[in-house]
Structures are given as C-alpha cells and as structure tokens.
C-alpha cells in the first residue's frame, strides 16, 4: 500500500492494544497519521471482549521507532482472516463512536492481496494453505492452553538448542562433545529424530515451535515440508493406525512434492511400560522408512535404561535438549520482571546462590523463578521443589493473605483439593478431567467436612488459577499446564495425608520418579525413607542402571536429611555400581555383557559423574572412600572398582587427592580396565595430579613394544564381554567374581 510508509510490529509485551502500528502519509494534507492494527485469527462476534480491550488500550500514547518518538493513534483497523458479524461491527461502532474504526474480514483481505500482493497466491495451493492453517490453529491452541508466562507480559521466547548424542557416546572416554544445533536444522538433515530432556526442559515448546515454523508459507516452499503435530497419548487413542492418517493427509494435500514431518510429543506422559513405548516408536520408524516422503520427531523425558537407549539409536538420530546458560536464565528473569533491570549485585548473588547450582537450567525453572522475583520475594528457594512450593503458594493465593487479601480457609481447601485432582489424574493416567468430575471431587471433599464453603464459589476460584490450571470451555475439561504441577500437587497430597509415612511407589519408574522427587523435596528431612530407597533391589539390569543414574536427584531433594544418612546412601550407591559392573564383566547372562568391558566402565563412570558431581556430595564421597578402604570383607576387585567410581566423581569436582590412594595403595591389584579408566577419566575431566601422571607413564611404558598387551587392550575396548574367551590371561589382574561380597 503506497500510503503506508512504515510498519512497527508491537505484538507481545509492547502491544498496548495494537499488534502493529502503521505510519500512513496523507498526501492531501502532507502529514502523517498513525493506525493501530488489531489482528485476530478467529471470527469476531458481538461478545469479543478481547477486541474491546485492545481498542481501549489503543487510546494510550505509545513509543515507536525504538522509543525515539511517542505518538497517539488516529485510526484503528480490525483485521481477521475469518469473518466479522454485522452485530459486532454495529456494536463496536456504537460503543466507540468517536473513534475511527475500519474492519477487514477474509473477503476484504482477499481483495487487498489481489491488488497489492498477487504473488502471495504463488506460494502454495489452497489445499496446503487450509491444511497448514488447521495445524497452526491446533498448535496455537496448545500454546495458549499450556502458556506459563502471564498474559500481560506477552510471549517471551527462549532460544533453545539440542545436542546430538552420538551412538555409544556414553561408552567412550574422551568422546568429542558435539556442538549445539537447532531442531529445524536436524529435521532438514535427518529422517527420524528423538529428543529427550529432563522435567521442564522445554521439549513441548521446542517441537511446537518447530512445527509452527514448518507452517510458514515461505518455509514450506523452500524446504517442501509440512507438519502433523500430535502426542503419544492421542496416538494411543486413535481408531486407525498412524499410517492411515498419513495417507489421508497426502490425499488432503494433493501434492506429492511435500514431505510430512510427524511430531509426537510426550512419550513419557502415560503409564505404559517404557519398553512398550520404545517398541512402538521404533516399529513406527521402521514402518515409515518405506514411505520416503515422511519424517518423524519424538520427544520424551530422559530414558535411563541403556538397553532402550540402544534400541532408539538403531532407528533415530538421538538428541538431548541443551541446558540454558546462567546468563540466559537471568536475562529471561529480567524480562519476566517487566524489564526492571536486575542490579549487578543481585545478578552476582543469584549466579552464586545454592539455587543456581542446584536448579536445573531449564525454561520452566526460569519462568517460575522470574514469577517469584517479580513479586519481590525476599528469600530465594534452595532447591527445585522449594521453588515449586513458593510458586504454587503464590498462584493459589497464600501471598495475597499476607497482603490482607483472600481467605486462609479458601487457600487451604483449594490446595488440598488440587492435590486430590492431581492424584486422581495420575493414578488413572488422565491428561484432562471433565468439569463434572472436578465438581464431584470438590463436593465429595466438602461433604465430609464442615468448612461452610460453597462448592460453586470454590470451583470458580479454582478455575481462575490459570498459572497452573487450564480450562477448555468448549470441551468443558480442566488440565494441568505442565506435568510437573500434577506431580508436585500429588506429592503434596501424599504428605498432607500420611506425613513421613507415604508408601514408596516405583521411585525409579520414569512416570512416577517425579512424584517421589517432589515428595522428598517437601519432606526434606527423610532419613528412614532414604535408607529404604537406598536398599530397594532393582528387578533387572535396566532398573539397576536407572537407580544408579537417578538416585542422586532424590538425595538432593531431601537435603535436610541428617548427613550421615546421605553419606551412607552415597557409599551404598558407589558399592552397588561397582558390584553391577563386576557382575556384568563375569556373568555370561544378562544384557550388559554384550558391551565391551572398557565401554561398560565408561558408561557407568558417565552416569556416576553426572549424578554425583555436586559440592553437596563432596563430604559423602570422602566418607565413602574411607569406608571402602576399611571394609575388609571386600575383594580387591570390588574395592578397587568402588574407589575408582568415587575418585572419578572427585576428579570431576577437581579434588586434588582423587586417585592418589587408589594408585599408591592398590596399584599392583588394579585391573587393566581400571588403569585405563583412571587415565581416560582424568583427561575427560582435565584433571592432572601425581597419581594420574604415574598411571599414564607406567601404562605407556608397559605398552611399548608389547604386542600381546596391545591386543588385550583392543579386546577391552572393542570385544563384547560375552564374546571374549578369557577375561584376562594374567591371573594377577583377572577380575574377581563377587560371590556375594
């Protein structure tokens, strides 16, 4: 449009009513007018309150051109790609009779595009446009339902990256760290992509953003890809197999030049057995490999079972969501605090606080922390469960009470009932719950108590807790905006009902682990429970691996537990890891013995370093080392392996004494895998001391010209344990069977 001389995009936290501000030159008067543009993607009807709000806000003066100029809007355009009813136009004109308002519906838009931008129609055929619009509407609806940032702040994007997990990366010392990449780049390069991440790492936001990008017309034309977004739960409820859905999409698009990228979010969010889920997506990838015009992207919380990881790696390029930097979290917090500049002192205090060292560097953590700081919280929480506790107190109204608002009784009642709702949904594996079922839970709770509260009033208050609860008015269902809220409130309910005596329910199951984690974070001081969990006997090798890689999370959550119990648990964990390693090296059955011995040692070392490399565990690691040295019932092999795992974590924590006693006191009984492990682990951690130098020097000397030793070390590195005829021809270094020691 030749009269429009400038466009300012103001949507988000700069909106103040107008999504765009246009500068329109009046040729007759030789002056500039300013037009506020309100853009909608839905039909505008008489009761469209959001449009009225934006019109009212358009009356405020606003900065443009990066704040260099403040202007008043002289005209408002209301635009939608759908229709505008006659009643809506009349009502708005009547209500704002002194404001110049113009309406643009889909027909008017079409006429303007024909006149000013006819090349637009060359991008894609109408069938593709309709299909993409359906996908955009669906994904936008999910974005709105699960948005955790307050509406007044607008959309705040956190740039997210992923890191490739190379096949066998956890089994190789000194493996090269891949560079961060974007999901968009990997979708272009790869057919099958599996993305994993911890709780709150932003997996769903990541794939929704990627799917929306594929809906961009220019992107569709450039890369010939269209998305189909779904969830694992929805796939399980489909009446037809996914391949039939793909065939229907192909017919709908009527364009065989386009690839269909299938996004399956939330593999972890049902109670199905982990192996069943992995079998499903691998079978799906195998089936889709014959359809060359399809790609597949799957997300899940981290799956710790190495056997399942290996199975996924056969079909998928495997990635994990990158952690955010501390500076990225603080920058995001600043934006959530309405761009109030965080002082350099506070920034420094925050970066050095125990919270920032314990807090997962995830988008969800940043959002919760930002919301707390925006309320001028005086004391930072120490752990993630404490962050959730303060955040949920905020959104449920506890802090309103301190300001003289709200009702203590209402807060307490809703807090307890939310736990009942969360428990019902988790126990029955439900993603959402009908309003009638929620009403029944409220009425049942109140009928058994004389609180004198009105159920309808409480339910209405509950539905207004939009920071944690979403309400689908069309389906009349409620849902938690993030699975972690469900887990936290259920853990809260367990604590309210049973105190310290809640039954322990599958703490190393991917679906239930979060509940146990939050429960211990609420209890904080749980010596008996930690002892019980420490002694849980995993039912198989896969569960043993899950325990050794995730038990540390539970110990960190229960940080107020007497430290002697933490020390005992860490010592027990290190010994269990050593025993599992040695059993896998000597047994001829089981899954782990198909891995070469040195790769298996690397795998266990990787998990232990990742799990226990926290300053919190430093005294416990030292105590575990002393107890291992003093335990005369341990065989040389068991003692040496246990000390090796302890020292590997200490080296990661840059403890100057790591490996010294192991090398000085037990060098003659060290197996070659442990000797090589010391050398490689020290290089991985960029850790050097007298012990690592001594081992490196003696290893190099022993290998010089020794062909048999070279062959043996190659066996350690490359030959699966169950394929080796003899673990060692040297009886002085032969691994010892455990025999229950």
Model confidence pLDDT, tens digit, residues 156-175: 677 789 999 877 767 777 66
CA separation, residue 622 to residues 358, 547, 571 (Å): 20, 21, 9
The whole-number average pLDDT for the span 507-513 is 88
CATH code 3.40.1350 for 4-122:
yes
Model confidence pLDDT, tens digit, residues 399-437: 554 444 456 788 889 989 999 999 999 999 999 999 999
Pairing of strands 162-164, 317-321: antiparallel
d(CA 177, CA 184): 20
| Domain spans of the chain, in order of start | 4-122, 129-321, 325-379, 381-525, 562-723
Stated length of the chain:
741
Model confidence pLDDT, tens digit, residues 84-127: 999 999 999 988 988 899 999 999 999 999 998 887 776 657 78
pLDDT for res 728: 43
pLDDT grade for 626, boundaries at 50, 70 and 90? very high
Model confidence pLDDT, tens digit, residues 552-582: 999 999 999 999 999 999 999 999 999 999 9
CA separation, residue 698 to residues 382, 675, 727 (Å): 45, 10, 21
Q: Is the pLDDT of residue 727 over 70?
A: no
pLDDT grade for 378, boundaries at 50, 70 and 90? low
Q: Which of 279, 137, 278 is nearest to 208 (CA)?
A: 137
Q: In the structure encoding, which two tokens stand for residue 85, read together?
A: 């009813």
pLDDT for res 733: 39
Do the two domains 4-122 and 129-321 of this chain adopt the same fold? no
Among 186-200, 218-232, 722-736, the minimum mean pLDDT is found in 722-736
Q: What letters, b where the CB count within 10 A reaches 16 and e where it falls short, cover 660-697? A: bbbbeebeeebbbbbbbbbbbbbebbebebebbebbbe
What percent helix, strand, coil does the chain show, rounded to 5? Answer: 55, 10, 35
Tell me which of 3.40.50.300, 3.40.470.10, 3.40.390.30, 3.40.630.40 is the CATH number of domain 129-321.
3.40.50.300
Average per-residue pLDDT for the chain:
85
H or E, element range at 195: strand 192-197
pLDDT for res 612: 94
pLDDT for res 571: 96
């Amino acid at each position: 449009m030749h009269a429009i001389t400038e466009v300012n995009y103001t949507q988000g936290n700069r909106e103040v009513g107008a999504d765009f501000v246009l500068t329109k030159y009046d040729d007759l008067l030789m002056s500039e007018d300013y037009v506020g543009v309100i853009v909608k993607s839905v039909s505008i009807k008489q009761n469209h309150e959001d449009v009225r709000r934006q019109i009212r806000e358009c009356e405020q003066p606003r900065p443009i051109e990066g704040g260099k100029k403040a202007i008043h809007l002289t005209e408002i355009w209301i635009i939608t790609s759908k229709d505008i009813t006659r009643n809506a136009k009349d009502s708005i004109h009547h209500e704002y009779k002194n404001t110049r308002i113009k309406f643009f519906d889909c027909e008017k838009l079409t006429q303007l595009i024909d006149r000013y931008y006819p090349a637009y129609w060359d991008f894609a055929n109408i069938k593709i446009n309709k299909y993409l619009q359906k996908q955009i509407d669906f994904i936008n609806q999910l974005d709105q339902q699960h948005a955790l940032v307050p509406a007044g702040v607008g959309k705040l994007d956190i740039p997210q990256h992923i890191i490739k997990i190379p096949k066998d990366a956890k089994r190789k010392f000194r493996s090269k760290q891949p560079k961060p990449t974007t999901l968009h780049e990997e979708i272009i390069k790869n057919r099958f992509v599996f993305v994993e991440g911890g709780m709150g790492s932003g997996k769903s936001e990541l794939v929704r953003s990627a799917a929306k990008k594929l809906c961009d017309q220019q992107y569709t034309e450039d890369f010939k890809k269209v998305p189909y977004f779904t969830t694992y739960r929805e796939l399980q409820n489909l009446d037809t197999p996914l391949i039939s859905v793909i065939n229907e999409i192909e017919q709908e698009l009527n364009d065989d030049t386009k690839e269909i990228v299938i996004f399956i979010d939330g593999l972890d969010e049902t109670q199905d057995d982990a192996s069943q889920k992995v079998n499903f997506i691998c079978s799906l990838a195998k089936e889709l490999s014959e359809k060359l015009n399809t790609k597949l992207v799957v997300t899940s919380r981290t799956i710790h079972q190495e056997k399942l990881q290996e199975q996924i790696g056969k079909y998928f390029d495997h990635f994990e969501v990158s952690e955010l930097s501390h500076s990225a979290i603080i920058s995001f917090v600043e934006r959530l605090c309405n761009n109030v500049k965080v002082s350099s002192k506070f920034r420094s205090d925050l970066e050095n606080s125990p919270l920032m060292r314990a807090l997962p560097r995830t988008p969800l953590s940043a959002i919760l922390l930002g919301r707390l700081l925006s309320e001028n919280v005086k004391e930072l929480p120490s752990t993630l469960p404490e962050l959730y506790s303060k955040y949920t107190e905020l959104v449920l109204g506890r802090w309103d009470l301190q300001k003289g608002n709200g009702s203590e009784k209402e807060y307490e009642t809703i807090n307890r009932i939310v736990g009942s709702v969360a428990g019902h949904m988790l126990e029955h594996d439900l993603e959402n719950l009908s309003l009638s079922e929620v009403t029944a839970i409220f009425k049942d709770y109140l009928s058994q108590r004389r609180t004198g509260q009105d159920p309808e009033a409480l339910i209405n208050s509950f539905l207004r807790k939009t920071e944690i609860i979403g309400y689908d008015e069309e389906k009349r269902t409620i849902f938690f905006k993030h699975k972690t809220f469900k887990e936290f409130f259920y853990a809260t309910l367990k604590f309210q009902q049973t105190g310290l005596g809640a039954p322990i329910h599958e703490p190393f199951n991917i679906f239930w682990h979060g509940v146990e984690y939050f429960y211990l974070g609420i209890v904080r001081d749980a010596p008996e429970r930690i002892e019980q969990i420490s002694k849980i006997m995993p039912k198989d090798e896969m569960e043993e691996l899950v325990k050794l890689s995730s038990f540390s999370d539970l110990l960190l959550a229960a940080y107020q537990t007497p430290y002697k119990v933490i020390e005992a648990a860490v010592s027990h964990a290190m010994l269990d890891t050593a025993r599992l390693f040695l059993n896998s090296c000597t047994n001829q059955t089981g899954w782990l013995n198909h891995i070469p011995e040195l790769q298996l040692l690397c795998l266990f070392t990787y998990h232990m370093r990742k799990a226990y490399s926290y300053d919190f565990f430093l005294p416990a690691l030292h105590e575990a080392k002393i107890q291992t040295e003093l335990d005369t019932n341990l065989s040389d092999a068991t003692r040496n392996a246990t000390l090796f795992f302890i020292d590997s974590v200490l080296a990661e924590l840059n403890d100057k004494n790591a490996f010294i006693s192991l090398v000085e006191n037990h060098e003659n009984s060290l197996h070659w895998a442990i000797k090589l492990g010391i050398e490689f682990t020290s290089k991985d951690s960029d850790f050097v001391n007298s012990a690592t130098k001594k081992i490196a020097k003696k290893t190099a000397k022993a290998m010089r010209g020794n062909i048999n030793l070279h062959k043996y070390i190659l066996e350690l590195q490359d030959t699966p344990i169950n394929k080796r005829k003899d673990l060692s021809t040297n009886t002085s270094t032969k691994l010892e069977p455990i025999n229950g020691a």
